[in-house]
Structure 1
Amino acid sequence: MTVALWCILIAFVLPYLCIVIAKVGGRFRLQDNHDPRDFLESLDGFPRRAYAAQLNSFEINPAFAAAVIVAHLAGNAELVTINVLAVLFITSRLLYIICYLADWAILRSLVWLVGVGLVASFFFVSI
Structure 2
Amino acid sequence: MTTAYWCVLVALFLPYLSTVTAKAVSGGFSPRHNYDPRALLDNLSGIGRRANNAQLNSFEVTPAFAAAVIIAHLAGGAEQALLDQLAIAFVISRLLYLLCYLADWAAARSLVWFINMGLIISLFVVAA
Q: Deviations over 1:39-64 (max 9, x none)?
A: 10000001111100000000000000
5+ residue gaps, structure 2, are none
Post-superposition offset of 1:34: 1.4
Using structure 2 for the length normalisation, give the TM-score: 0.97
Distance (whole Å) between structure 2 residues aligned to residue 24 and residue 114 of structure 1? 28
Q: Is residue 55 of structure 1 aligned with residue 56 of structure 2?
A: yes
Aligned partner of 2:24: which letter? V
1:72 is aligned to 73
1:123 is aligned to 124
Aligned length, in residue pairs: 127
Matches within 5 A, 1:1-127: 1-26=1-26, 27-127=28-128
Distance (whole Å) between structure 2 residues aligned to residue 81 and residue 110 of structure 1? 23
Post-superposition offset of 1:84: 0.4
Runs of 4+ in 1 over 6 A off after TM superposition: none
Post-superposition offset of 1:31: 1.1
Q: Deviations over 1:66-92 (max 9, x none)?
A: 000000000111001100000010111
Aligned partner of 2:76: which letter? G
Distance (whole Å) between structure 2 residues aligned to residue 122 and residue 31 of structure 1? 43
| SS of residue in 2 equivalent to 1:77 | coil
Using structure 1 for the length normalisation, give the TM-score: 0.98
Aligned partner of 2:65: which letter? F
CA RMSD of aligned residues (A): 0.6
